[in-house]
Structure 1
């Protein structure tokens, strides 16, 4: 009886080692492949509509209580000086509302506010800034203005380098877009994995989580299960799971080429027990939704 030996390689969808032209091409390919996964798995949502709305409402409530956004906050007054008022008219809440992240929310549940997220660099400056105003030109200008704001006024500390930081900047009230900005920053920390405790920055901690998980999956995945499916070549997997307030993995619901591979990936994620601390928001333990895409290449060794 002829035996088959499988070779499996797993990798992050990463563009760091490519030229800009290659990055643009690969990014397009990856986006198309990820879209195909989402489209083909629309019958397998992570949250039901009701669960998504409840989770969203709870998150918004927590954020608002911590950030305390106001039209007369120091950050709001700063933007009123340095951001041209005419740009507010270009903010398109309809484009934001119908993005993939919010499109399943009913209008009466949707919170018409816009946040900017960023991380702290080694020198304490804002880096990796992201915002969605529905207009890319406005996005760029807002980030440019924000990077000149003195971050110490947001109550940030040296230890916040390990978090992803969010501030509200805009709100829509009575059909008008206002500068209604946070008084305080909200800092979200990623769950910590054994061996990653001494990492200083958010991106390092987050990357370490997924790298450790993938290494675990490669080491423990059932070759017999893979071989029985006769899958060869490169396949994309979408890992989806939650780490609750106690650091336990729950609600695993990955996406794979078929149910047998999905069940195997889900089994491995559920058995991954290297988490030493849950995610936190302003130093209070919280539930963290985790998601990543990975490619596995399966080949026969002869």
Structure 2
């Protein structure tokens, strides 16, 4: 019997010693500058027309769709044609990140893609996004970090076809 108790206690001690610490997933991470990701906020900043959606996931999807539509409509047609002609098997993804400040204005915009012309045009357009509604978390106005991943084909489709 002692042969089984000692190894069992040893295994239990090892298991407890290497157990991971429990984390509180109910409180979202807030950056040092007071910025929080829009998906985990109590009330994320929204573009006009998205307030009527019933739940926050639909509101966030509506805002993302409106941002994509805004970029498509504002895209310079000459640049779109040039980018479409240059893109031979390049990565099709455009990564966009920006902050919506407490007043609802866009700041700290970043765009990442393989094509420098596409990057410059998307950066220019995102900086001109209309004002968002104020975002709040736990009753306080906060900065909201947005990040979107868009496909270049979809962004260029309307501009090239017009």
2:45/2:144 contact within 8 Å kept? yes
Q: Say which of 46, 58, 69 aligns to 1:192.
A: 46
Q: TM-score, normalised to structure 1's length?
A: 0.38
Q: Number of aligned pairs? A: 130
2:104/2:131 contact within 8 Å kept? no
Q: Whole-Å Cα distance in 1 between the matches of residues 118 and 79 of structure 2?
A: 8
Q: Say which of 206, 223, 239 aligns to 2:77.
A: 223
The 3-state SS of whatever aligns with 1:214 is: helix
**Aligned twin of 1:255:** 112
Does structure 1 residue 90 correspond to structure 2 residue 38?
A: no
2:103/2:134 contact within 8 Å kept? yes
Q: CA RMSD in A?
A: 2.9
Q: Whole-Å Cα distance in 1 between the matches of residues 60 and 16 of structure 2?
A: 34
**Aligned twin of 2:97:** 240
**Aligned twin of 1:282:** 138
2:98/2:147 contact within 8 Å kept? yes
Q: Say which of 34, 50, 59 aligns to 1:205.
A: 59
Q: Whole-Å Cα distance in 2 between the matches of residues 216 and 281 of structure 1?
A: 26
How far is the alpha carbon of 1:294 from its aligned partner?
Answer: 1.0
Structure with greater contact order relative to length (CA < 8 Å, sep ≥ 6): 2
Q: Whole-Å Cα distance in 1 between the matches of residues 73 and 93 of structure 2?
A: 18
Q: Whole-Å Cα distance in 1 between the matches of residues 61 and 93 of structure 2?
A: 18
2:102/2:135 contact within 8 Å kept? yes
How far is the alpha carbon of 1:114 from its aligned partner?
Answer: 2.4
**Aligned twin of 2:36:** none
How far is the alpha carbon of 1:195 from its aligned partner?
Answer: 0.3
What are the ranges of 5 or more consecutive residues in structure 2 without an aligned counterpart? 1-14, 28-38
2:105/2:131 contact within 8 Å kept? no
Q: Whole-Å Cα distance in 2 between the matches of residues 222 and 87 of structure 1?
A: 60
How far is the alpha carbon of 1:296 from its aligned partner?
Answer: 2.3
2:94/2:152 contact within 8 Å kept? yes
Q: Whole-Å Cα distance in 1 between the matches of residues 62 and 16 of structure 2?
A: 39
The 3-state SS of whatever aligns with 2:50 is: coil
What are the ranges of 5 or more consecutive residues in structure 1 without an aligned counterpart? 1-85, 94-112, 119-162, 165-186
How far is the alpha carbon of 1:242 from its aligned partner?
Answer: 0.6
Alpha-carbon spacing, 1:231–1:114, altered in 2? closer, same or farther (3 Å): farther
How far is the alpha carbon of 1:245 from its aligned partner?
Answer: 0.5
Tell me which protein shows more strand as a share of its residues. 1
The 3-state SS of whatever aligns with 2:25 is: strand
**1:67-216 residue pairs with structure 2 within 5 A?**
89-91=18-20, 114-117=23-26, 164=40, 188-216=42-70
Q: Whole-Å Cα distance in 2 between the matches of residues 238 and 115 of structure 1?
A: 29
